[in-house]
A and B are shown apart, each in its own frame.
Chain A
Amino acid sequence: MDAKAGQNALLNLDMDTRVIGKPVPRKEGREKVTGRARYVDDIALPGMLHGATVRSQLARGRIVGIRYGAGIPWEEFTIVTARDIPGKNCVTLLIEDQPCLADGVIDHPEEPVVLLAHSDAYLVEEARRAVEIVCEPLPAVFTIEDSLTRKEVIWGEDNIFKSFLVEKGDVESAWAQAELIVEGEYETGAQEQLYIEPNGMIAEASPEKGVTVWGSLQCPYYVHKALVPVFGLPKHRVRVVQTETGGGFGGKEEYPSMIAAHAALLAWKSGRPVKIIYDRAEDMVATTKRHPSKTRHRTGVTRDGRLVAMDIDFTIDGGAYETLSPVVLSRGTIHAAGPYSCPNVRIRSRAVATNAPPHGAFRGFGAPQSVFALERQMDRVAEQLGMTPDEFRRRNFIHEGETLAVHQVVREKVDMKRLMDRAFELSGYHEKRERFAKENARSAIKRGMGFASFLHGAGFTGSGEEYLASEVSAEATPDGVVRIHAASTEMGQGTNTIFSQIAAEALGLPCEQIEIVQPDTANVPNSGPTVASRTSMIVGKLVESAALEIEKKLKDSGFLDGKRDPRAFAAACRRYISEIGPLGAFIRYDHPRDLHWDDERYRGDAYGAYAWAVYVAEVSVDTRTAETRVEDFVAVQEVGRVINPVLAAGQIEGGVAQGVGFALFENIVWREGRMVNGQMTNYVMPTSMDVPPIRVFFEEIPYGRGPGGAKGIGELPLDGSAPAVINAVANATGLDIRRIPMTPETLLEMLESARG
């Protein structure tokens, strides 16, 4: 496809659809509202043992012994250490640096060392507490600063997992044109995904039968890829099945591979099925969280508010092993300069090692961190220019045909001003901002309005989708039911429903006639991971193509005419299957040839499409109690065609609530690399009393390469919610807040020092 044709393909103006765009009820909803949906902990296999994980008790050191305490009938237990691993001792992801079980050395305080299994779940917990890992401590690193200055080298040669440099224009020579230069440093804390269903796995494993795991997970083929080397088995002898998954948000992207390996190792040694379910405390302290970050901005502008140069330095704390940090860093880097047009941009970034459990995927994947910094910086630059924050952004918004920091020419019909105007109108932004400024002077409760404007790329970055080469298949039954085989998982975000709608729309069938096959590596092809806002846009398109391929076969055979009728479709399927044979379709992703990415220079078409948004928050801050309440929230976004308005709004509302938590509540307390508040009692997420009315609005510009015109949506709301809230708090109080979470304690300190 040439560039011109590619451009035309981006505009699909056919909005006349039958099931796409309709609030079709959730496919598996009935099972969920009746309690019949089966999550991993609801499954019990005959003879099943319960597994537990004994973890290191210090951040860094050498293991010198393992003591099994008195009073436990150890002979009844299955005990697994690194020595019992039949294959490689690593959790394979991008590289192979993370052991499955620590062997000799400890690199973080929650490192698994010993696995235990017993038929009595109570006894196994007692036994876990009776095992002592005896260690000689080594000096450890707990902060980004100490890692960067190489106080100790704890990973590789320089503690750096990955670094990127994005350059557009020439920042160094551009400073001369700047009439004002504003600097700022910003921080974001770690954040726990806090899906309400903790992680868990069940495994059956033996040299004869191979390895099968069932569990709560986002990416069946990630788990599969990790299990194969641990057992040294051929691929076809490892099987991964996703059970109903009670939330993921990235938290079940990579860590389930670890738990699957543990359960399977215990099953392998004991010869019995083994279930490992983390309790909340273990899930919170040991599994991944959002990467903490530090960002430095140096922004040059002209007096009339034009961006001249943006110099951005972005660092994330990756924890003890590389895991997904290079990819998180990549997304954070690419999103760091936002939806603005600036001729000279430099983004330098790196992910560093510390002796904390590895940080990992969490909805937004690096972007919420760098977008928070940017949107605070934009407000601060505007203030120093003596310009309103909206006018400053208005003068710098990117337009179709202009280039982003990574040199990507925007080919979408983006209109950020329109999104902003609509968000302001719906929230009463201008009127309230003016009124609050007057009222605040005579009130202890200060009110404020803030906003953030941002973009989020859908799908894997750069050539990622090309390498993934995702696959989907479909088959039709003689009754005219079409079964979709994909590895994309349902974890609440709506995969089952969206895929049904896409296939039903393509075939002119009711959604009930589409079946979504349970993700099971023995039965579905590799559609790639369920991450990166890629399921609807990328995999959904493959579902659409597979459905259309089935229809084409029916038409080519002469069994189906142009008329779209479910009964005629079923009759045609029956006839095809009896006269010709199985009726199916297999589709593999084909990367658009007009999308180019240069991995060396880190520039090009970073994403096939972006979602664009402006979010407005209204807050009140009680300056006596330092309590901040978000009173109203308006989220306006352009996400291509909305496939299901109820599900789509649900994605945004849930994401905004998580973003409010990221901004105001969710504070992880670290002590020597260990989370010490691993309970829902003292790690506080928003309750029904804390969330504002969240008002969601969509602009729909169909995207030609998305199924039915859809783009990605899932991660978007995490990017802009926190900066909108904090910009509102800054507007209300006049405080220059640079770090989140902004808890009442930190706000109180700031209020007190402002009072002098």
Chain B
Amino acid sequence: MAEVGKKIRVECTVNGEAAAFEAYPMERLLDALRRELRLTGTKEGCGEGECGACAVEMDGALVNSCLVPAAQAQGATLRTIEGVACADELHAIQKAFLLHGGSQCGICTPGMILASVNLLDRNPSPSEEEIREGLAGNLCRCTGYTKIFASVVAAHRKRDGGG
């Protein structure tokens, strides 16, 4: 069970800043982020690693935070949706989602945006097939994905065009 044992203190870097929280070692990182750090942009859609609504970056890799024990975040560098925009300036991906209809109900959006950012960081000019593969771990029930693909394409074109 998640709450077995004593709570530990987890120290890590979250969205570029030092952070610390108390959690049971086997508690889900998702719960610790939402409850202890009030980073509620990370969502729970299924709790079993299927939907990707809880996706965050951990040491540069995209992970489902519902499958990561809180203890594993010790010393890690995390990025959540709250750390994607730079102050009030939206990330190119966020702008593209806004402009091209990549977000409808918005519940998959934080995870989908982190997956898109992670994809473009690894592969700045993905093909359509690579975009489909890159987002395959993130489920969206509203869009049929079409406008999400368009948003990712628009973001990388803009970046390619703008240097």
Contact = CB atoms under 8 A, between A and B. Distances in A.
Interface of A: 23, 25-26, 28-39, 41-42, 122, 126, 193-198, 244-249, 279-280, 491-494, 646-647, 649-650, 653-658, 679-681, 685-689, 691, 693-694
Contact of B45 (A30, A36, A197, A691): A197
B37 interface: no
Contacts of B45: 196-198, 280, 680
B144 A657 contact: yes
Most buried by A among B1, B43, B104, B131: B104
8 contacts: A39-B107, A248-B105, A280-B47, A494-B104, A681-B48, A688-B148, A689-B133, A694-B146
Contacts of A688: 131-133, 135-136, 138, 140, 145, 148-149
Interface in B2-30: 2-3
Interface residues of B, number: 56
Nearest to A652: B144
A691 B145 CA distance: 8
**Chain A to chain B: the 10 pairs with minimum beta-carbon distance, closest first:** A35-B41, A492-B105, A246-B107, A32-B106, A657-B144, A35-B81, A492-B104, A653-B144, A680-B50, A42-B40
A244 B46 CA distance: 18
B107 A691 contact: no
B106 A680 contact: no
A625 B141 CA distance: 27
A280 B48 contact: yes
B103 interface: yes
A607 to B, nearest CB: 25
Interface in B36-88: 39-48, 50-51, 53, 80-82, 84-85
B101 A247 contact: no
Most buried by B among A31, A32, A493: A32
B2 A122 contact: yes
Contacts of A279: 47
A377 B47 CA distance: 41
A694 B145 CA distance: 9
Most buried by B among A28, A30, A658: A30
Contacts of A693: 146
Contacts of A39: 43, 107
A36 B141 CA distance: 20
B23 to A, nearest CB: 12
Main secondary structure of the interface of B (DSSP, over half): loop
Contacts of B108: 196, 246
Nearest to B80: A35
Contacts of A685: 139, 141
Interface of B: 1-3, 34, 39-48, 50-51, 53, 80-82, 84-85, 90, 94, 97-110, 113, 131-133, 135-136, 138-149
A694 B50 CA distance: 24
Nearest to A248: B105
Given A35-B82, A246-B43, A688-B132, A650 B139 contact: no
B108 to A, nearest CB: 5
Given A34-B94, A492-B104, 15 more contacts: A23-B101, A28-B106, A32-B106, A33-B113, A35-B40, A196-B51, A196-B108, A246-B43, A649-B146, A650-B143, A650-B144, A655-B144, A657-B141, A681-B48, A688-B145
Contacts of B53: 196
Given A33-B113, A34-B82, A247-B107, A26 B101 contact: yes
Most buried by B among A23, A38, A195: A195
A347 to B, nearest CB: 31
Main secondary structure of the interface of A (DSSP, over half): loop
A245 B141 CA distance: 13
B53 to A, nearest CB: 6
Nearest to B114: A35
Nearest to A216: B107
B139 A654 contact: no
A649 B101 contact: yes
A689 to B, nearest CB: 5
Contacts of B113: 33
Contact of B106 (A23, A246, A656, A681): A246
A654 B142 contact: yes
B141 A196 contact: yes
A653 B44 CA distance: 24
Contact of B90 (A33, A653, A687, A689): A33
Nearest to B99: A25
A681 B104 CA distance: 24
A44 to B, nearest CB: 8
B109 A32 contact: yes
Contacts of A657: 141, 143-145
Contacts of A31: 106
B89 to A, nearest CB: 11
A653 B48 CA distance: 27
Contact of B144 (A37, A193, A246, A654): A654
Nearest to A33: B94
Contacts of B34: 42
B109 A33 contact: yes
A491 B44 CA distance: 17
B37 to A, nearest CB: 13
A656 B147 CA distance: 13
B84 to A, nearest CB: 8
A646 B81 contact: no
B82 to A, nearest CB: 6
Contact of A680 (B1, B48, B143): B48
Contacts of B102: 33
A72 to B, nearest CB: 13
Contacts of A38: 40
A53 to B, nearest CB: 17
A679 B48 contact: yes
Nearest to A247: B105
Contacts of A34: 41, 81-82, 84-85, 90, 94
Most buried by B among A33, A126, A280, A686: A33
A657 B39 CA distance: 31
Contact of B141 (A41, A280, A658): A658
Contact of A649 (B41, B44, B147): B147
Contacts of A679: 46, 48, 50
Contacts of B104: 26, 247, 492-494, 650, 654
Contacts of B133: 688-689
B103 A33 contact: yes
A25 to B, nearest CB: 5
Nearest to B106: A32
A691 B45 CA distance: 20
Contacts of B84: 34-35
B58 to A, nearest CB: 17
A689 B134 CA distance: 10
Contacts of B50: 679-681
A696 B141 CA distance: 18
Nearest to B145: A688
Contacts of B106: 28, 31-33, 37, 244, 246, 492
Contact of A650 (B1, B46, B135, B142): B142
A574 B84 CA distance: 40
Given A39-B43, A122-B3, A680-B50, A195 B105 contact: yes
Nearest to B85: A34
Contacts of A26: 98, 101, 103-104
A691 B48 contact: no
Most buried by B among A194, A195, A196, A658: A196
A249 B102 CA distance: 18
Contacts of B51: 196, 680
A694 B1 contact: no
A494 B106 CA distance: 11
A26 B50 CA distance: 27
Nearest to B83: A35
A252 to B, nearest CB: 11
Nearest to A31: B106
